[in-house]
Amino acid sequence: MSLVGKHLIDPGDFTLDELNSVFQLAEKIIKKEEKFSEICKGKILATLFYEPSTRTRLSFESAMLRMGGKVLGFSDANVSSVAKGESIADTIRTISAYADIAVIRHPKEGAPKLASKYSTIPIINGGDGGHQHPTQTLTDLLTIRILKGSLQGLRVAFCGDLKFGRTVHSLITTLSRYPDNKFMLISPRELRLPENIKYSLENYKNIEIIETENLESVIDNIDILYMTRIQRERFFNEADYVRLKDSYILNKDKLKYAKKDMLIMHPLPRVNEISYEVDEDERAVYFKQAEFGVYARMALMALMLGVYKNA
Ligand code: NCD
């Protein structure tokens, strides 16, 4: 089994064994990071970000730098030739000559996949529109594995914008590949999980799903509460966003009814959906989660570049 020569566009591109190899290596790196400080010497990561980002781009850059490699790229398409009308196909053909691996974030669903068709280097999807965000899923699963000890038999609740939240789409479909996970979907009616995803979970995988608009009614029976931001940039009009933006605000009071070992996760950035007072709660692991993201991405790139072979 090898990840060399593969792209990561959708988490389904990797088998469970391949995902496992990423988590195992990430855990090794966490234990003894200094052993890995030179493994990407001579390698270059290109970060092509056509949409805003803090964690994804910087954690990729940090990951490559910590392994002794180098980074180049842009964090604003307006400063690249895209502003002159260059296609993603031409951009990636060129970047293939400048770097060994590339991560692309793009507002259009499918853009990283299109890029992968024209690329001679491995492409990683850093988030495409409201579609997928596979490396956030690696981050989320690594967090759950380390803090819960298992990726199966969990009752996972997703709360907020389940329609446009790409991290939710990637995570729920991946968690559904592990046995005995059950899902709760908590969202306003307009922001429900897309029907095609829900349909395939229920009908092809026979997974129990509970849908509700009310967080309080289910909070006592959750192992992982995955909060999300209402995705303002994907709304067609501002009035709808304003109406829905404060649909859920997790605070200390609501947490009184939650399990003592429930994990509160969030891909970040947070807006209003988690009160700052919750940060002190032991169950709040979202900053830890962001930290694990660096290790997940180190492991991913090391395996895709083939610089670490016996994970
Ligand atoms: C997420 C994203 O970009 O989809 N952020 C991230 O990568 N950690 C979540 C979000 O923007 O709400």
Low-confidence ranges of the chain (pLDDT < 70): 309-311
Predicted confidence at residue 79, as pLDDT, reads 78
Our answer on whether the CB atom of 167 is closer than 6 Å to any ligand 1 atom is yes
With a 6 Å cutoff on the Cβ, whether 267 touches ligand 1 is: yes
Which residues are CB-contacts of 38 (< 8 A; sequence separation ≥ 6)?
A: 67, 68
Which residue out of 7, 133, 163, 198 is catalytically annotated?
133
pLDDT at residue number 85: 83
pLDDT for the residue 310: 58
Beta-strand pair 224-227/155-159: parallel
Q: Looking at domain 134-290, what is its CATH homologous superfamily?
A: Aspartate/ornithine carbamoyltransferase (3.40.50.1370)
Q: Determine the distance separating the centroid of ligand 1 and the alpha carbon of 1, expressed in angstroms.
A: 30
Q: Which residues contact 144 (CB under 8 A, 6 or more apart)?
A: 150, 151, 154, 224, 263, 265
136 in contact with ligand 1, CB cutoff 6 A: yes
Contact indicator for 301, 100 with CB cutoff of 8 Å: no
pLDDT, residue 285, reads: 98
Question: Please, where in the chain does CATH 3.40.50.1370 lie?
Answer: 11-132+293-310, 134-290
**What's the gap in Å between 177 CA and the centre of ligand 1?**
22
Summarize pLDDT for 42-55 with one digit per residue, the tens: 999 999 999 999 99
Match 């995902």 to its residue by tokens.
19
Topology at the third CATH level for domain 11-132+293-310? Rossmann fold (3.40.50)
Identify which of 62, 109, 167, 241 to mutate to test ligand 1's pocket (most ligand atoms within 8 A of the CB).
Answer: 167
Greatest Cα pair distance, the chain, in angstroms, is 55
- Structural Rg of the chain based on CA atoms: 19
Start-to-end C-alpha separation, the chain? 10
Which pLDDT score is estimated for 204? 86
